């Protein structure tokens, strides 16, 4: 049982490999099946406090790892260590840290990684469990939801050494992988209902301390900005390709749906040690977790990937697109008679 696993060594003697972070929805370079033995993956996150425009007239002092909402995806194999260096530039104003749901002990690293502006810290944790997991800032008290809903969260994927398995236990690979995070924002509003435009981080934080208490987001978007994955920024795929969608929400519940597609494979709780479910129309991502879904595209076209609370999707911003090239397969769908006058 997973209950009985034991471990040796703290990683000091393992080979070290630097993983270059890239902005979501892309993932860094990685092998689906482990190539070589366990290693220490070196990752650097630099905290950026900066104003971002989430929607027209809705800007926020965002807190970010490496400048993006969500932060970059890390990819490891089960048994690897992640060695994270967290840098908090002196130009920042707040203390920050990082809590990895993939890590064991010390508040997921939060207890050992709190850095003041001008400081950095390096710690290492073993990836004992396979799956996709959230990470986020957790500086304590009300600062936890404030920093997380100001954008300071992301995910790590820990692959099994021998890669993913399908519902029959057979190896399965994917052709592309995308990371999509739903972010709930709680923009403070002035008395006319307009989003407040704060001059300083400190003012913003104070107001967020009140606005989050509504429990009702003002904006719910994918990858930090309304339309971040729409139109020219849509995700891409080809008919026949198997695409791994990693979806996370660090705070509030999400129900992900790919219009016209399905979850061929959906790992319960996003954890790869469990047999994947098949055929899901909608997969839920409870707040504070991540999910992984593998889908093979069978038809070309522009797909929508959204939160199937359709109000969240179309009135709050939680919608992305996937543009899929290829040839139409009429064995799956066929128009028998086009739009015509009523008979």
Of residues 52-111, those binding a copy of itself (CB under 8 A): 83, 85, 87-90, 99, 101-111
Among 73, 74, 115, 181, binds a copy of itself (CB under 8 A): 115
By CB under 8 A, is residue 48 in contact with a copy of itself?
Answer: no
**Dist CA 220 CA 224 (whole Å):** 9
Binding mask 104-143 for Cu ion (x = CB under 5 A): ---------------------------------x------
* β pairing state of 242-249 and 277-280: unpaired
Q: How far is the CB of 41 from a copy of itself (least distance, A)?
A: 13
Q: Buried b vs exposed e over 47-64: b needs ≥16 C-beta within 10 Å?
A: bbbeebebbeebbbbbbb
From the list 21, 73, 127, 152, the catalytic residue is 152
Q: How far is the CB of 124 from a copy of itself (least distance, A)?
A: 5
Q: How far is the CB of 67 from a copy of itself (least distance, A)?
A: 17
Among the listed residues 177, 161, 133, 122, the one whose alpha carbon sits nearest the alpha carbon of residue 39: 161
**Dist CA 156 CA 83 (whole Å):** 13
Q: Is 262 a catalytic residue?
A: no
Map the footprint of a copy of itself across residues 260-299, applying CB under 8 A.
260-262, 264-266, 268-271, 273-274, 277-284, 286-290, 294, 296, 298-299
Q: How far is the CB of 306 from Mg ion (least distance, A)?
A: 11
Q: Buried b vs exposed e over 196-209: b needs ≥16 C-beta within 10 Å?
A: ebbeebeebbebbe
Per DSSP (E only), the strands in 56-91 are 58-65, 74-77, 81-88
From the list 21, 127, 137, 256, the catalytic residue is 137
Residue 29 or 191 with smaller CB distance to a copy of itself:
191
By CB under 8 A, is residue 28 in contact with a copy of itself?
Answer: no
Q: Is 77 a catalytic residue?
A: no
H helices present in 229-327, as ranges: 310-314
By CB under 5 A, is residue 83 in contact with Mg ion?
Answer: no
Map the footprint of Mg ion across residues 159-218, applying CB under 5 A.
182
Among the listed residues 110, 106, 69, the one whose alpha carbon sits nearest the alpha carbon of residue 86: 110
**Dist CA 32 CA 50 (whole Å):** 34
Residues near 336 by Cβ (< 8 Å), separated by ≥ 6?
A: none
Tokens standing for 37?
């033995």
Residue 34 or 199 with smaller CB distance to a copy of itself:
34
Map the footprint of Mg ion across residues 35-54, applying CB under 5 A.
38-39
DSSP 8-state class, residue 213: G
By CB under 8 A, is residue 188 in contact with a copy of itself?
Answer: no
Among 254, 272, 295, 324, binds Mg ion (CB under 5 A): 254
Residue 163 interacts with which of a copy of itself, Cu ion, Mg ion, none, CB < 5 to 8 Å by class: none
Distances (CA, A) of 119 to 71, 90, 275: 19, 7, 43
Map the footprint of Cu ion across residues 133-192, applying CB under 5 A.
137, 147, 152
Q: How far is the CB of 37 from Mg ion (least distance, A)?
A: 6
Residues in the chain: 343
**φ, ψ for residue 255 (rounded to 5)?**
-125, 105
From the list 136, 143, 149, 249, the catalytic residue is 136
Q: Beta-carbon neighbour count of residue 318 at 10 Å?
A: 29
Query: What is the contact surface with Cu ion in residues (CB under 5 A)?
Result: 63, 96, 137, 147, 152
Catalytic residues: 96, 99, 101, 136-137, 147, 152, 257, 281-282, 308
Query: What is the contact surface with Mg ion in residues (CB under 5 A)?
Result: 34, 38-39, 77, 80, 182, 249, 252-254
């Amino acid at each position: 049982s997973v209950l009985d696993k034991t471990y040796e060594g703290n990683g000091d003697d393992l080979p070290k490999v630097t993983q270059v972070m890239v902005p979501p929805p892309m993932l860094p370079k990685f092998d689906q099946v482990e190539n070589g033995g366990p290693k220490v993956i070196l990752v650097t996150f630099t905290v950026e406090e900066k104003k971002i425009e989430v929607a027209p007239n809705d800007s926020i002092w965002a807190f970010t790892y490496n400048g993006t909402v969500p932060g970059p995806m890390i990819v490891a194999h089960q048994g690897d260590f992640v060695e994270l260096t967290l840098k908090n530039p002196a130009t920042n104003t707040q203390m920050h840290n990082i809590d990895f749901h993939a890590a064991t002990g010390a508040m997921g690293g939060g207890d050992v990684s709190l850095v003041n502006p001008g400081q950095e810290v390096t710690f290492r944790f073993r990836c004992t469990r396979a799956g996709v997991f959230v990470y986020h800032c957790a500086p304590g008290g009300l600062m936890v939801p404030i920093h997380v809903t100001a954008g300071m969260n992301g995910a790590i994927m820990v692959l099994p050494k021998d890669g993913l398995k399908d519902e029959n236990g057979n190896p399965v690979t994917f052709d592309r992988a995308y990371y999509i995070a739903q972010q709930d924002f709680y923009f403070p509003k002035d008395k006319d209902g307009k989003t407040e435009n704060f001059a300083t981080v400190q003012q913003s934080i104070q107001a967020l301390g009140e606005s989050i208490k509504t429990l009702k987001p003002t904006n719910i978007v994918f990858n930090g900005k309304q339309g971040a994955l729409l139109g020219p920024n849509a995700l891409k795929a080809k008919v026949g390709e198997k695409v791994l969608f990693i979806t996370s929400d660090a705070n509030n519940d999400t129900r992900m749906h790919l219009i016209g597609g399905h979850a061929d494979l959906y790992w319960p709780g996003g954890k790869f040690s469990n047999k994947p479910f098949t055929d899901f129309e909608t997969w839920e991502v409870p707040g504070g977790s991540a999910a992984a879904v593998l889908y093979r595209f069978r038809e070309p076209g522009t797909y929508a990937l959204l939160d199937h609370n359709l109000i969240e999707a179309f009135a709050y911003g939680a919608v992305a697109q996937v543009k899929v090239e290829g040839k139409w397969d009429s064995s799956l769908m066929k128009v028998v008679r086009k739009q015509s006058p009523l008979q």
